Amino acid sequence: LLSVSVNQILLLLLVLTVCAILYNKVHQVPSALKSETVDLESPEEMEEEIPVVICAAAGRMGAAVAAISSIYSNTEANVLFYIVGLKTSLPHIRKWIENSKLKEIKFKVVEFNPMVLKGKIRQDASRPELLQPLNFVRFYLPLLIQKHEKVIYLDDDIIVQGDIQELYDTKLAPGHAAAFSDDCDLPSTHEMVRSVGMQNTYMGFLDYRKQAIRDLGISPSTCSFNPGVIVANMTEWKHQRITKQLEKWMQRNVEENLYSSTLGGGVATSPMLIVFHGKYSAINPMWHIRHLGWSPDTRYSEHFLQEAKLLHWNGRYKPWDYPSVHTDLWENWFIPDPSGKFKLTRPDS
């Protein structure tokens, strides 16, 4: 009888042990699945979409394609390209992308209506190309991009050699609607600036003979900035009514000729210099190495250009035309036009 009782107790203990093991296993499965699910989902949750705005102008679409190609090839980030153009040119760029290796990119084609510029641009015969409507797309970012807090705007005559995530991570100080690169930020560019007579102060962009400019109280020797690369905070932009402020200065320029015919010639740069004076954050200088299109004779060292994260051919001498400098760096990212409409201009072509 005693042995039967002991056996029953041992059996009961065994059953309880098995039940306890099964209970633990059953109750651990959800938590294990849960942690696995979190691990699987968290990269998606963390992977913020990086909106990049680039214009695709008729006659220079190859520039936009090379810029997009360079960005896409050098990052693992989740980039969404906003490709902005006029109605007539958009089918061309869409076809180019969809029939090339860029068909994998995430992109939206956005039509820019030039009627928003009516009465706001003063005709200037010295640099008519600067009056193209798409030069002013950067003024209207919140109207074109609806759902993003932070946006990158890039001119088309750039290539990106770094990871665009780095540029996107640029810190904007509280109250700043945008970050730009100062024109005095890199000692290595100073010699080039001097050698070609380039302007890197407000004096080169604004006409200080005009009372409206003097009334701003900005010293003419203040360092200018280049709005070809912008990291923008859309909430601040809208809150400060930046677009309205820019339009106000465009209209004043039509009436008073405050900047169009001055040496800098930057009809899109000048109003931004006024509106953002003292109210912008700085972009890492290596994320905007510029002036590559300023002269067909001035060259940077190859080592310096290899270290650069972003190259900008601002100026008249573009890398898809001839003459121009450092075209090999640009052509690395160029994708020929499947339709054959856009062709590179080369000395042997």
Tokens of 263: 């040496």
The pLDDT, as a whole number, for residue 183 is: 85
pLDDT at 32: 31
Cα atoms found within 13 Å of the Cα of residue 106, Cβ hemisphere only: 9
Q: Is the pLDDT of residue 330 over 90?
A: yes
Most distant CA pair in the chain, distance: 118
pTM: 0.84
Taking the C-alpha atoms of residue 19 and residue 241, their distance in angstroms, rounded to an integer, is 68
Beta-bridge mates of residue 232: 151, 178
Residue-wise pLDDT for 189-216, tens only, equals 555 555 555 678 898 899 999 999 999 9
Q: Which residue has the higher pLDDT, 125 or 9?
A: 9
Among the listed residues 136, 133, 123, 119, the one whose alpha carbon sits nearest the alpha carbon of residue 268:
136
Domains of the chain: 50-183+196-332 (3.90.550.10)
Torsion of CA 241, 247, 249, 250, to 10 degrees: 160
- Helix then strand count (H, E) for the chain reads 12, 9
The arithmetic mean of pLDDT across residues 277-282, rounded, is: 97
As a whole number, the mean pLDDT across the chain is 86
User: Which candidate, 111, 119, 151, 347, places its Cα nearest to that of 237?
Assistant: 151
Sign for the CA dihedral angle at 65, 318, 269, 333 comes to positive
Q: What is the mean pLDDT of residues 18-34?
A: 48
Q: What is the arithmetic mean of pLDDT over 335-339?
A: 96
Percentage of the chain beyond pLDDT 90 is 68
Higher pLDDT, 259 or 163: 163
Q: Does the pLDDT of residue 24 top 70, yes or no?
A: no
